[in-house]
Structure 1
Amino acid sequence: MTDNEADKVTIRPAGPDDAVRLSLISDATFLETFAGEIAGDALVAHCKEMHAPRYLAKVLEEGAKAWLAELDHAPVGYALLTRSDLDAAQTGDIELKKIYLLSRFQGQGVASRLLDAVEQGATGYQRLLLGVKADNHRAIAFYTKQGFSQIDTRRFNVGGTLYDDIVLARDLNRN
């Protein structure tokens, strides 16, 4: 990817009508990130359930917010913001349930722009939470650079297999 290409990536809010696009990029980025690290059958089961267009449309209709990162209208990344179901959640918290970007677009500032859009969509909340696979060192380094710190751990189910996650938080009212 050229530097100029990263500059052409746009970030836009996504709604229920974008469920197919969200499903496509969800599957692509999840497989790209975890193939070879998570058992193949578990990956496929997770994608089939948690990335299905019908499921994503329902989540958005129930109040979740999503953003698409696109290059020439092709999805290259996305983020999903929902009410938190994490044990560490407190009143005033919201959860960044998903944020993924195709590897070709990583390290170019696109993820930071996507995270900025999420923050703008999280007005009225005090803290942004997220869970990340405990051995995903690249993602943890990105979140740490963005001001997140670990507040908890949890077990995360991917297609019937449990994995260790760390739970990170960042104050949304930082100045």
Structure 2
Amino acid sequence: MIRKASNTNEDVLMLQKLAKKTFYDTFAYENSEEDMKEYLETAYDFDVLKSEIECETSDYYFYLDGNDAVGFVKVNWADSQTEPDYPDALEIQRIYSLKEYHGHGIGAALMEHAISVARKLKCPMMWLGVEEQNKRAYRFYTKYGFKKVGTHVFMLGEDEQHDSVLVKNLED
């Protein structure tokens, strides 16, 4: 089941725990412990997450297995997008599931939900950034019709990384 995250302490804490774990499990193997620690403490700070949830132009959605959040997606539109290049688009800023749930259709369900949000908002396209070495995620996105249009910088602590920017046209 997919449910929109609320600004309750319970939801913010659930998101914080899930976000830190999934990000760490996905990227710790290729980044320094210092950079990971700085990013996790900054990007997934309780107050940062609470303000993102309360923002009128971004939403978090949980994928629940019973009462447990095992995946999530964050979507941004309008001024909440992390890049200004696609002002009418919906950005998927984050989409993750716990490692033990990979291959169970959670990513697909979250992606379909994000697409439905974009359509409801009448966005002509969607975009996201994906780490260039993350072949599994890259294949997943291209399966949904996302195509590489460029790159952008993603700062992980002190490390400047380059992500591919992928775009999906919703008007086809």
Aligned to 1:97: 93
CA-CA distance at 1:86 after TM superposition: 1.9
C-alpha offsets along residues 28-85 of structure 1, whole Å, 9 cap, x if unaligned? 1001101111111111111111112211110121221111012121111100011323
Structure 1, residues 86-145: CA drift from partner, whole Å, max 9, x if none? 25x223112111001112111221111111111222222111110011111110010011
Q: Does 1:73 align with 2:63?
A: no
- Matched residue of 1:151: which SS? strand
2:82 aligned counterpart, secondary structure = coil
Gaps (5+ residues) in structure 2?
Answer: none
Is the CA contact (8 Å cut-off) linking 1:79 and 1:98 kept in structure 2? yes
Q: Partner of 1:132 in structure 2?
A: 130
User: In the alignment, is residue 86 of structure 1 matched against residue 83 of structure 2?
Assistant: yes
What amino acid maps onto 1:22 in structure 2?
L
Aligned to 1:29: 22
Amino acid in the other structure paired with 1:62? C
* CA deviation after TM superposition for structure 1 residue 152, in Å: 1.1
Deviations 1:136-172 (A, max 9, x none): 1110010011111001101110112111100001112
- RMSD of aligned alpha carbons: 1.3
Question: 2:4 is matched with which residue?
Answer: 13
Q: Is the CA contact 1:69–1:76 (under 8 Å) kept in the aligned structure 2?
A: yes
Q: Secondary structure at the match of 1:99?
A: strand
Distance 1:21 1:173, change over 3 A: farther
Distance of 2:61 and 2:18 partners within structure 1: 11
Alignment of 1:20-59 (within 5 A): 20-59=13-52
Q: Give, as a single letter, the amino acid of the residue that structure 2 aligns with 1:154.
A: H
- Aligned amino acid, residue 136 of structure 1: N
Shift, 1:23, TM fit: 0.8
Q: Which has the higher contact order (CA 8 A, sep 6+)?
A: 1
- The alignment covers a number of residue pairs equal to 164
Shift of 1:173: 3.1
TM-score norm. by structure 1 comes to 0.88
The percentage of counterpart residues that share the same residue type is 26
Q: Distance in 2 between matches of 1:90 and 1:77?
A: 26
What are structure 1's unaligned runs of at least 5 residues? Answer: 1-9
The amino acid that maps onto 1:86 is: E
Query: Contact 1:65–1:121 at 8 Å: present in 2 too?
Result: no
